[in-house]
Structure 1
Amino acid sequence: MHHMSKELESIRAALWNVGEVPVEQLNKLVRIWARDVRELSYDMEDIVDTFMVRVQGPDTPSKKSAKRFIKKLVNIVTKATTRHEIAQEIKDIKERVREVAERRDRYKVDAIKPVKTLVDPRISTLYTKATDLVGIDEAREELITRLTKGDDMSAQQQRVVSIVGFGGLGNTTLAKAVYDQLKVQFDCRAFVSVSQNPDLNKLLKNMLYELDKEKHANIHSTMLEERHLIDLIREFLQNKRYLIVIDDIWDMKPWVILRCSLQENGLKSIIITTTRILDVAEQIGGCYKMKPLTHDSSKKLFYGRIFGSEGKCPGQYFEVSEKILKKCGGVPLAIITTSSLLANKSGDIKEWNDVCGSIGSGLASNPSMDSMRKILLLSYYDLPSHLKACLLYLSVFPEDYVIEKNELIFWWIAEDLVQQEEENQCLFEHGESYFNELLNRSLIQVADRYTDYTISSCRVHDMVLELICSLSREESFVTTVLGDTSRQCMPSSGSTVRRLSLQNTTWPKTEMSKLRSITIFNPAIINKMPSLSICHLLRVLDLQDCNLKEHPSSSFVGNLFHLRYLSLAGTRYAGELPMGVGKLQFLQTLMLNGTKIEELPPSIVGLTQLMFLWVDSCTSLPNGLRYLTSLEMLGRVTVDSACIAEELSHLKQLRILSVNLTTEKEGRWDENMCTAFVRSLGKLHRIQDLMVHSDCVAANLEGSVESLGNLRYLFIHRTTSLPTWIRPAILLHLSSLEITVVQVRREDIQVLGRLQALRHLHLTVYGRRQVRLERFMVSPDAFPCATTCIFSKLAMVPSTFPPGAMPRLKNFRFGIQLEDFSQGEFTTDDLALGHLPSLQYVQVYLSGRWKVSEEVVTKVKEMLRHEADVHPNHPSLSFYDDDF
C-alpha cells in the first residue's frame, strides 16, 4: 500500500503538469496517455478508499497528513481475506501501470512537445471599428466622466480606472474605446498588453516605444536593465500629461513595476487597466465592473451583423435567434463570433438550429467558435490544479441553475477536492476560499446574498458553463445526461463513469460500480431508479426534491459505506430514517429538511465526522447530540428541554446554528431551557450565523454571553426584550440583525445605533397594533454603516436620527401614528428626510387612520412628498395603511 500511495502521488504530479498545457497544444498521443493515467489514478484512489473503509474505520484519509496516512497503511494489521483482496487489486493496478508506461516509451510520448499558440486571440479587439461597437456607449461615457470630471481637490491629480470582467465581456474593447476618444487631449499615450506570463523588460520597452516611436525605434535591440528602463520612462513623462492603458493584468507583480514608472506629475494624467481578477482591480484602484450587454443591445449587435437590422430578419429566424442570444448571455465576443458564423447561413433554418446546438455542446465542435473558446481557456489555464477540479465540478449543474454556496463547498469536500494543508484546518473555510477565488477570477457570478450581504449562491454564465462541460468531457470528470442532445457531457472513449448528473427522465444504461457521485435534477427519474446498493464507492448522493414515497430505504442507503454527502431534502420521505444511516461513518453532510421525518434514530449520534446536519423543525434529535463534535452547521433543531440546550455547548466547531425553542410544559414556559440555551451560546466561540425561533412571547434570552465576537448574522423571532448581550463591545462584526421583541425601549435604539458593523436592521414589535416609541434622538454618529433600516409596528419619525446619523442609509421603512399629527405633537420639522444623505427608498406605514380625518392623512402625505422632492436624491416614496 505504501508503494501504491507513492505511485498515486507521482501520477497526480504528472497529470498536474499535463493540465498546465492547453489541450489544443497537446498531441493526440499525449491526450490518450493522460486519459489512461487519469483512469489509473481514479482506480488507485478507489482501492485506497476501500482499504480504509474495511480496515481503518471512520477516520478518513482526508483527515490525516500524507506522512501519517502512509505510516498507518504500512503498520496496520487486517483480516486475511481483506489482505488477499486488496493485494490482488494492487497487483492488477501495478500491471496496468507497467502497460501504460510501456506504451508511453513505445510511442515516445515524452518526446512530443506542445505547439505554442503564436496568435493572441484577443488582438482583434484592438482593431474593432467604431461603427461595430454596440452597447458600450453608456459604459464608455461613464468611464470618461469618471476620469475627466470630479471635485476640485483631485482636479490636478492622476486618475486610475481598472476595468474588470471575465474573458469575452469586452474589457479590452471598452478600454480601447475610451483610449481612442481621449488620446487627442494628451501630450503622449501608450497602449500595452501584459498577458499571463509577462516579460517585464520587454513590457517596459514596449511602453517606451509607444510613447515615442521615433526616439525609441530601436529600443527592443538594446540591452537595458529594468531599473534603467523605469528611469527612462519616468524622465520622459516628467513634464507631460499622459494617457496609458495597461491591458490584461493577471496579478500584481507587473503592475507594481509599471506603477514605479508612471509617476504622479500633477498634470491630470490618466491610467486605465483591464483585468479578469477582481482583487487585482481593487488593489489597483478605481474598480469598474463590466456588465453583459442588455438584451436590446445584444439584439442590435446580433441582427445588425447578419441582416443589417432586426427589422430585416425573416420571421422564421426569431425563435432560434432568441435561443442563441440567451446562450451568448450578453457577452459581446460570443455574439460577434456566432453572428459572423451565421452571416453566410441566412438561407437555411436547419443550419441555424445546428449552430445553436453546437454552442450547447461545449464550444468544441465548431471551428468558428475557436476564438471564443481560447479566450475563455486563458482564465481556466491560469487556475491552480485544485481550482481547476472545483471549477470542472460545476459541470454537474444545469444551465441557469442557482447553486447554493454552502452545499457546493460540502460537495467539494465530499469529493476530496478541498486540499487540507494543515491537520487542524477548517475544511469548510478553506473551501470557502476556493469559492471566493473563483468569484475573484470572474469564473462564477453572484446569484444572491443574505441580508448580512454575504454571498448565499452563485451561477455560471452559459458560455463559461459550455467551456467547463467541454473540458469535463475531455477529462471524463462528469457525465451529464440530458433529455435532448443540446449538451451532453459524456465520457471519452475508454473512460469509466465516475460522476453522474441526471437532467433527463430516463436512467442511463451505464456501468455503476465505479460511481462516486449521483446528482438528480429531474425528480421524475426517481420512478425508474435502480437499486444503488452496487454503488459501493458512492461518495455523493443528492436526491433533493425526488419523490421517495414509493422507494424503500434500502434502494438508496444499502451498503454505501463510502458516502460523504446525502441529501434527501424536499423528498417527502415516507417513514423513519433507517437505523442503517448510523453505519455511514464517513458521512459529512446530511440534509433532511423537507422530509417531515419526526425522529432521528439513536445511531445518528455515532456519525462523528458529520459537519452539516439540517432537519425540519418538527424533527426531534436523540440524546447524545454532544458527540457530534465535528458539526459546523446545525439547523433547524428543536430545543425542547434544558438537556438538549446544554448539549449544544459541546459543539465547539459550530459556525451556523438554527434552533426552534418550542418547549411549553403544563402551560408554562420552561425558563431553565432558555437559561441553559443562553449559557451554551456563551461557549460557542466560532458562531457566525445564529437563528433563534421561539413559539412563545414569554421567551427570555437574558444571560451572560461573552463569546459572540465572530457573529455576523443574528435572527431572533419573539423574545420579551432586546437581550442585554447584544452589546457593541461584544458584537464587533454583527452585520445583520432581525429581531422581534414584545417591548422596545428608546435605549434599545441607542444600543443598536452603536453597533459599528451593522448594515441591515429589521426591528419588529410583536403585536397587532403599531407601538409608539417615546420621542428621543440618537447620537449624530449612530448607525455608521447601516444601509437598510426597517422598523415594523413601531411609530417613529425621521427626526429620531439627526444630521450625521445613518450616513449610508438607502432603504428606510418606518411607521407614523397619525393622531400625533392631528394633535399637533409633530410638525413638518419632524419629517426631516434631508438628514439622511444616501436615502433612495422610503416606505411609510400610516397607523390609526380611523382616528383622524382624511385631511390629516393628506397633509402628512404631502409633507413627506415634499421632503422627498427637496431631497438631493429624490428617493422613491410609498405609503401603506396600518401596520406591517
Structure 2
Amino acid sequence: MRLIRVLDLEGTSGLKDHDLKQIGKFLHLRYLSLRGCADIYHLHDSLGNLWDHQMLDVSGTGIIKLPKTIIKLKKLQYLRAGNVPNDDATSSLELNESSDLFKRLQEATNTALDMASTYRSRNNHTNNVKKRNIYHKSKVLLISIMLGLDLHGVEAPDGIGMLNALHTLGVVNVASGKGVLDELEKLTQLRKLGLTGINKKNNQGVLSATANLALLHSLSLRVDGEPGLHGCLDDKFSTPRNLQSLKIYGNLVTLPTWIAQIQHLAKLKLLSTQLELACSMEVLGKLSHLAILRLWKNSFKGEELMFHFQHGTFPSLEVLELADLDGVKSLSFMQGAIPRLELLQIKNCIHVDNNGFSGVSSLPSLKEVMLKGEYHDKLMKNLCDQIALNQNQPALKGA
C-alpha cells in the first residue's frame, strides 16, 4: 500500500481528519483527491513528507486554511481548494443571497457551538469522535465568519511562493493582506489562478501580482455580496499576455476597460456582475478571439433585457450561453452577427416573450440550440419555425 501513487477519495462520506493521520507514510503518493469530503477540516502535518507529490485536490471540504506543511511539497503542480460549484450547477449559485446566508450561518453556528461546548464540559472523559467532529465543525464555521473568510476560498500559508512548480492554484482568499499577494507573484509558472477576497484595500496589489504572471492563461475573480467587486477592477491592468480565460463572479456594475485590451481572450464567464446591458455587449462584441461567452444569473441588471446582436459583432464566438437571467425578454440576431456560432444555450430564462427569438434562421454556422426550462408553446413553435429555415438544420434539444 505504501507504494501507491494515486489515492482518489473524492466524495467519500464519513471521512474524518483523524483518518488521514498516516498519509505521510505514503511516500510515493503523487495524487491525492479529497474533493467533496465535507468532514475534512485539517490536513495532517505529515503531508509534508510526500516529497514526490504533484496533485492535491481538497476543494469542497471544510478546509479554510492550508497548513504550513504544504510548502514542503516542492513538486506540487496542481492545488485546488475552497468550495467552487461545477460550471453546470448554475442554480446553486446565488451570490446575491450570500449576506443572508452568512447571517443564518452565524446564528446557527453560535447555537451549535454553545450546545457542543456544554456537552463537552459535561463529558470530559468521552472519546466519542462524532461529538468532537460536531464541535469542530461549529467552531470552523464560526471562525471563518469572524475572520471574514468566505466559503469559496482558503487562506494560503506564508511561503507558498516557494512552490515554484505550481501551474494550477485556487481558490485563494487574498483578504488577509499584502503578504499573500507577494507570495503569489513568485509563482511564475502559474497557468490557472482563482482568487477571492478582493476589496478596495488590496485591489491594486491583486492586479499587480497577476499582471506579473506571464504564463497565466486562466484567471477567476470572485467576491460575494455587496459591494462585491464594484470599484475594485477599475484601475489600469496590464493583463498577462497569454490570458485566454476570464471568470468574474460578483457585483461589478461597470465593465473594466482593460477587458477590451485582452488580445487572446477566448473564454469569458460573468455571474452576478450587475452590468449595464447595451454598453457592455458593445465592448464584448469587439473581442476578436472570444469563442465562448457564458452569461449567468444577474450578470446584467434590469427586468427587461433585450439582447440585440448587431452585424459584425462577436466574429469568433462559437458558444453562447444565457443561464438563469430572469430579465431576458428577447434575443435578436441581425444578418452577419456571430457568424461562427455553433451552440446556443438558453437555460431557465423563463420570461422570454413568445416572439422573443428572431434571426436564428440567419446564423450560418449554428449546429445546436439547447433550451432548458419551461417555455410557452407559442415560443417553442416560433423557435422551431426559425430553426427549420436555417440552412444548417441545427438540432433543438432540451435538458
For normalisation by structure 1, the TM-score amounts to: 0.32
Question: Counterparts in 2 of 1:260-339, with a 5 A limit?
Answer: none
Q: Can you list the C-alpha shifts for 1:144-195, whole angstroms capped at 9, x where unaligned?
A: xxxxxxxxxxxxxxxxxxxxxxxxxxxxxxxxxxxxxxxxxxxxxxxxxxxx
Task: Give the equivalent residue in structure 1 for 2:86.
Answer: none
8 Å CA contact 1:608–1:629 kept in 2: the answer is: yes
1:632 CA drift (Å): 1.0
Task: Give the equivalent residue in structure 1 for 2:185.
Answer: 649
Mark the CA change 1:864 to 1:655 in structure 2 (over 3 Å): closer, same or farther.
Answer: same
Mark the CA change 1:745 to 1:580 in structure 2 (over 3 Å): closer, same or farther.
Answer: same
2:63 maps to a residue whose letter is I
2:163 aligned to which of 628, 635, 652: 628
1:772 aligned to which of 287, 304, 316: 304
1:609 CA drift (Å): 3.4
Unmatched 5+ residue regions in structure 1?
Answer: 1-511, 519-539, 664-669, 822-826, 850-856
8 Å CA contact 1:625–1:648 kept in 2: the answer is: yes
Question: Counterparts in 2 of 1:581-592, with a 5 A limit?
Answer: 581-592=47-58
1:692 aligned to which of 202, 221, 238: 221
1:787 aligned to which of 318, 326, 344: 318
Mark the CA change 1:647 to 1:839 in structure 2 (over 3 Å): closer, same or farther.
Answer: same
8 Å CA contact 2:274–2:301 kept in 1: the answer is: no
8 Å CA contact 2:7–2:29 kept in 1: the answer is: no
1:841 CA drift (Å): 3.4
Task: Give the equivalent residue in structure 2 for 1:640.
Answer: 175
8 Å CA contact 2:24–2:48 kept in 1: the answer is: no
2:391 aligned to which of 864, 872, 877: 872
> Is the partner of 1:715 in helix, strand or coil?
strand
1:790 CA drift (Å): 2.0
Task: Give the equivalent residue in structure 1 for 2:9.
Answer: 544
Mark the CA change 1:845 to 1:554 in structure 2 (over 3 Å): closer, same or farther.
Answer: closer
Kindly indicate whether residue 238 of structure 2 is the aligned counterpart of residue 711 of structure 1. Answer: no
> Separation in 2 of the partners of 1:859 and 1:548?
51
* Count of aligned pairs: 318
Question: Counterparts in 2 of 1:179-218, with a 5 A limit?
Answer: none
8 Å CA contact 1:743–1:765 kept in 2: the answer is: no
8 Å CA contact 1:739–1:764 kept in 2: the answer is: yes
1:714 CA drift (Å): 2.1
Unmatched 5+ residue regions in structure 2?
Answer: 84-150
1:773 CA drift (Å): 4.1
Task: Give the equivalent residue in structure 1 for 2:122.
Answer: none
1:655 CA drift (Å): 0.4
Mark the CA change 1:549 to 1:836 in structure 2 (over 3 Å): closer, same or farther.
Answer: same
1:679 aligned to which of 204, 208, 215: 208
> Is the partner of 2:295 in helix, strand or coil?
strand
1:805 aligned to which of 327, 337, 352: 337
1:576 CA drift (Å): 2.6
Task: Give the equivalent residue in structure 2 for 1:387.
Answer: none
Q: Can you list the C-alpha shifts for 1:269-319, whole angstroms capped at 9, x where unaligned?
A: xxxxxxxxxxxxxxxxxxxxxxxxxxxxxxxxxxxxxxxxxxxxxxxxxxx
Mark the CA change 1:730 to 1:543 in structure 2 (over 3 Å): closer, same or farther.
Answer: closer
1:755 aligned to which of 260, 277, 287: 287
> Separation in 1 of the partners of 2:338 and 2:244?
19
Mark the CA change 1:609 to 1:843 in structure 2 (over 3 Å): closer, same or farther.
Answer: closer
Mark the CA change 1:864 to 1:554 in structure 2 (over 3 Å): closer, same or farther.
Answer: closer
1:775 CA drift (Å): 7.4
Instruction: State the Cα RMSD in Å.
Output: 3.8
Task: Give the equivalent residue in structure 1 for 2:23.
Answer: 556
1:613 CA drift (Å): 1.6
1:629 maps to a residue whose letter is N
> Is the partner of 2:24 in helix, strand or coil?
coil
> Is the partner of 1:672 in helix, strand or coil?
coil
1:789 CA drift (Å): 1.0
Task: Give the equivalent residue in structure 2 for 1:841.
Answer: 368
1:556 CA drift (Å): 2.7
Kindly indicate whether residue 44 of structure 2 is the aligned counterpart of residue 578 of structure 1. Answer: yes
1:737 CA drift (Å): 1.5
Q: Can you list the C-alpha shifts for 1:788-827, whole angstroms capped at 9, x where unaligned?
A: 212342536444x3222212212224669767x8xxxxx8
1:867 maps to a residue whose letter is Q
2:206 maps to a residue whose letter is F
Kindly indicate whether residue 139 of structure 2 is the aligned counterpart of residue 604 of structure 1. Answer: no
Q: Can you list the C-alpha shifts for 1:201-260, whole angstroms capped at 9, x where unaligned?
A: xxxxxxxxxxxxxxxxxxxxxxxxxxxxxxxxxxxxxxxxxxxxxxxxxxxxxxxxxxxx
8 Å CA contact 1:771–1:795 kept in 2: the answer is: yes
8 Å CA contact 2:362–2:390 kept in 1: the answer is: no
Mark the CA change 1:554 to 1:813 in structure 2 (over 3 Å): closer, same or farther.
Answer: closer
Mark the CA change 1:760 to 1:768 in structure 2 (over 3 Å): closer, same or farther.
Answer: closer
> Is the partner of 1:719 in helix, strand or coil?
coil
8 Å CA contact 1:543–1:568 kept in 2: the answer is: yes
Q: Can you list the C-alpha shifts for 1:612-640, whole angstroms capped at 9, x where unaligned?
A: 22223454322333332331111222332
Task: Give the equivalent residue in structure 1 for 2:120.
Answer: none
8 Å CA contact 2:329–2:352 kept in 1: the answer is: no
Which has the higher Rg, Structure 1 or Structure 2?
1
For normalisation by structure 2, the TM-score amounts to: 0.66
1:570 CA drift (Å): 4.5
Q: Percent identity?
A: 27
8 Å CA contact 1:642–1:676 kept in 2: the answer is: no
Mark the CA change 1:677 to 1:858 in structure 2 (over 3 Å): closer, same or farther.
Answer: same
1:672 CA drift (Å): 1.5
Mark the CA change 1:777 to 1:723 in structure 2 (over 3 Å): closer, same or farther.
Answer: same
Q: Can you list the C-alpha shifts for 1:507-534, whole angstroms capped at 9, x where unaligned?
A: xxxxx6xx64x2xxxxxxxxxxxxxxxx
1:579 CA drift (Å): 2.2
8 Å CA contact 2:17–2:43 kept in 1: the answer is: no
Task: Give the equivalent residue in structure 2 for 1:85.
Answer: none
1:874 CA drift (Å): 4.2
> Is the partner of 2:48 in helix, strand or coil?
helix
1:551 CA drift (Å): 5.5
1:833 CA drift (Å): 2.0
> Separation in 2 of the partners of 1:691 and 1:599?
19
> Separation in 2 of the partners of 1:604 and 1:781?
50
8 Å CA contact 1:674–1:699 kept in 2: the answer is: no
8 Å CA contact 1:633–1:654 kept in 2: the answer is: yes
> Separation in 1 of the partners of 2:388 and 2:8?
53
8 Å CA contact 1:573–1:595 kept in 2: the answer is: yes
Mark the CA change 1:574 to 1:758 in structure 2 (over 3 Å): closer, same or farther.
Answer: closer
2:234 aligned to which of 688, 702, 714: 702
> Separation in 2 of the partners of 1:689 and 1:565?
22
Kindly indicate whether residue 366 of structure 2 is the aligned counterpart of residue 831 of structure 1. Answer: no
> Is the partner of 2:388 in helix, strand or coil?
helix
Question: Counterparts in 2 of 1:222-621, with a 5 A limit?
Answer: 516=3, 518=4, 540-545=5-10, 548-549=15-16, 552-558=19-25, 563-571=29-37, 574=40, 576-617=42-83, 618=151, 619-621=154-156
8 Å CA contact 2:276–2:301 kept in 1: the answer is: no
> Separation in 1 of the partners of 2:262 and 2:381?
43
> Separation in 2 of the partners of 1:775 and 1:570?
37
> Separation in 1 of the partners of 2:77 and 2:307?
48
> Separation in 2 of the partners of 1:873 and 1:683?
44
> Separation in 2 of the partners of 1:686 and 1:773?
37
> Is the partner of 1:808 in helix, strand or coil?
coil
